[in-house]
Structure 1
Amino acid sequence: MNDVASSDAHIRLGMFEAACDILAAAVIVYDKNDSLVFASRQVLRYFPIPADALKPGARLRDVLGAIFDSGMRYGLAPDQRHRAVNREEWISAQISAHWREQYDAIERLSRDRWIHFRKRRLPNGYNVTTLVDVSEQKKQEEQWRLDLERIALTEEILETLPSPIVIKDRNLTYIAANAAFCAIYDVDADSIVGRSIWSLADAESAERIETTDRSVLETGEPHVLAEHIVRADGSDLYVITRKYRIGASGHYALVTVMEDVSALVSGEQPMTDADDALLRVPGGFVEAQNCFDPVRDAERRLLLDQLNPDELHALAGRRVLLVTPNPHIEDILLAEFKARGADCCAVTSVREHDAFLALAAEEGLAIDLVIVDDNLSGHEAILENGQGIAVRPIAPDGIGPDFMRTLVEEHELLSDEGSPLGDIVTPVGFSDDWYIATDISTMLPAAVGDVEVLVAEDNQINQFVFSQILEGMGVSHRIAENGEEAVMLWRKHQPRLVLMDISMPVMNGIDAALEIREAEKGTGTRTPIVAVTAQALNVDMQNCMDAGMDDYITKPVSPDMIEAIYRRYAAEKPQKSVA
């Protein structure tokens, strides 16, 4: 019987040793009298002590003494690791930790060696200690810490550099923008990072910028361009823009650096031969992206198209008076006139206009041009009595907070009779990025189905999450910041799927879905609309279904969730049905 018991014990011991080998862990067991019961052979990999020191029955104090004599000093505070340590004091400290009910710590055995100690005191008094080498994990953590420090230092350097710098990832999404770049457009980095140029600029500028970006990413050849930019305050900025590809294959990033040469162009700073060569660029300075807001750009075009092009080109040095009660129009036109070198100001009524001209006459100042808003009460008097000054009227109907709604509604109501907005709402005179139509069959081929998913989401963090997921899936998409913009982008792109946040400013998701469903009547098409909600409440779900939505998902969204919805509703291109 004893032989059988002994054989069985040896088998279990061998299995235990094998398990320790597989787990790459060392195990030590002491009884309630601190005598060694078991020590796996892996212990000798951690401590360079004689094998005899680990025989069953050895005292804990003797084992710790052998470890101390080998030169190991674990369990010390960082400030004590390089000092002389008393042997008895160290052994006593380790015995104290040994008798704790639980002890869990990562200890440094040497410069590049880290061990995870776990000690458990069982109810019967036995102590089980496990040791696992976590050196590689600690090295990785240390590397991550150093990488984070380098990233923080790099960001601080970029932020303080005087040259405007932006960085885009391989999908041409902005991932960094320094303070100098943000200052040009009077925006903060949060309104840029996570977005693409298509959501920040008009279509013409976006296409030009993206073309050069992709060329640099694909070829690795730097791109250099001399650009004239109008800052947010209306002042001129002349820069030499350089684009570079950085990073490893598959993880490329695009860095754009702008060198300010405005002082050289204006003559404020004397030029050296090197400066002269720098500014001798083919074609001179080209007009660059001057505005991040495409709605404002549309308003600007609508206003400027009503003025004589020859007069606009000859504004430099001329005195221009703007008469409008609309501060938004004043802001746009004064910035445009100043950018063209005009000496300009604005008044808000006929009375102020007359008083201004009288005061100018007294001072002997000639006014060259007066721009009059035909929404101004009594504007006819200014047009009839120009006092020998060139007077030009403008009709800025709808420009302001409700500009896009007015533009769409007027086009819908008058599309059969011709729109008073003229070419602004047609593919010929208006940029493709702002083409709007209610009859899908009349839209430009490139405007139908070129976007697979439209996401309506006002939260910037959620916008970034959606973009990362959809870009990872290789799905083309656009982001709308409110329900009104979602309806507008739906009209233009006719996406295969709409992911509609319920709570948004300007127009909520329910109203946007209702407007889309109303517009679809008679077109023979139906776009799947999936609600995105913070909480899946029954009343919210019923409201979504009543608004004509097809399904719903709840936040936070995940790649699996979005992919499942995409496969369900947008994996195949929708076919136009026959009514």
Structure 2
Amino acid sequence: MNDGASIDADIQSGMFDAACDLLGVGVFVYDRNDCLVFASRQIHRFLPIPPDVVRPGARLRDVLGAIFDAGIRYGIPPEQRHKVINREEWISARISAHWREQHEMVERLGKDRWVLFRKRRLPNGYNISTLSDVSEQRKQEEQWRADLERVALTEQVLDTLPHPLIVKDKNLAYVAVNKAFCAIHGSESGAILGRTVWDLVDAENATRIDTSDRDVLETGIPFRCEERIVGTDGSHLYVVTRKYRIGSPDNFILITIMDDVTHIVEPKEEMAADGVTLRATTRFRKAEVCFDPVREAETRLLLQWCQDDETDIAGKRILLVTPTRRTEELLIGQLQARGADCGAVRSLDEFYAVLDAANSYGVGLDLVLVDDTMDGYEAIAEAGGLSVRVVTPDRIGVDFFRALVEPHAAAEAMPTDVLTPSALFDDWYIATDADAMIVQGDIEVLVAEDNQINQFVFSQILEGMGVSHRIAENGEEAVALWRKHQPRLVLMDIAMPVMNGLDATLEIREAEKTLHTRTPIVAVTAQALNVDMQNCLDAGMDDYITKPVSPDMIESVYNRFVTQRRAQNAA
């Protein structure tokens, strides 16, 4: 009878274990005395504890102690995770939670791993605890939350735009509109979304808009037109409408952007026939997407021939005579920005033609700028009745380089009311401090260890601390990974194949002389003799720890060489 019961129990235990494997969960079953009755094989995927600890009959306290010793600290509030945790206090807190009728929590074990702990106390006193990996679900939740934040931010950005913007689906129904578009129709977005253009405007305009929408959706060719839109309040809006198709073939989306140009155009009665013209007061200033110090220095040095303490060019009529397009581009934009009414000619014939035309209309020239690189410029310089100033762009030579290299010296030769080239270089400097050029790596700790069991121990401890790390199996690989990742700390085993830890440290220290950096290296050795410790220090290591390592030992080293150093740099 006993043999039969034992066989049945083994079969049931095996089936239970197989079910746990299929479900991917780890299961503990404790009796009313907190002694272990069953532990599935899956628990070793979650908890790095020795197999003999989870044998039937083991006490709950002993299992929790083994979990603590393996570096796992679940159930600790976030604000206390960086403090030293007392072993007995942690075990007592876990036993207290163990005796709740129901208990559930999600804990982060490692950098990217989340585990769901569930406990249920049955009426007969037995306790069933399960562990399941919810990392993918947690990542999806975080991604979903990030997507919602991006959507909310995008909506805020679109509503801030002064130009109307519309998004339509493949059925040409409105799926997104901003406030500027809603203002045209005098409606809220809720009254527009889900509807079509046929619900918002008259049949004639709806036909025109619908036709262009469908053409863009079918062909993918962008559409552009100028429109005058009359709002519900009777106001006129002049826009340049552009339509684009985006998305995949099975789910195209139509984007319509209306650039509001009302403030820079002069309306005409018949816009469809004649269009609009720019207002007379409209001036476009040239701008660039990048700063060119050479061009800026050259422009400022050229301007010193155009402006001095006695000449205010604002409102003046200025004619530039130059055969060089670059000189024209540099000066005309600057003169216009300073309020001058200016233009340029490329030859003597063009100059005299402009002069005759100006005289015939009774328009005088306040200043003529003549480029001395043009043939015959002397004739203009000697002309009577004109205020002429000679510009010498080809002879800025030394002054130009002084403006780049010694801006303050070059400024002495320039008028006081002209911006000096030094303004260009106030934010420019050459970094000579090596620490300013150090780039932190993409991992925090590099572990050089050839023993697989010790590798596993290091990984579990560092994952439990939430520290990113890489494992090197020998000294040569450690040097290669150090060069690639530039970690903040290296834990270096001394006795390794291919290259030992001492030689690897010497090679790293030699490379750091060129890079002007220094990575803390802590020796991990099974020897505790003074001579071995001195060899580590002589090789350039910063400290040493002895095996077997513990979570408290690694956490102490990490705080001393990484956390405290980061805090000092921040200060």
TM normalised by structure 1 equals: 0.46
Q: Which of 1 and 2 has greater Rg?
A: 2
Query: Greater relative contact order: 1 or 2 (C-alpha under 8 angstroms, separation 6 or more)?
Result: 2
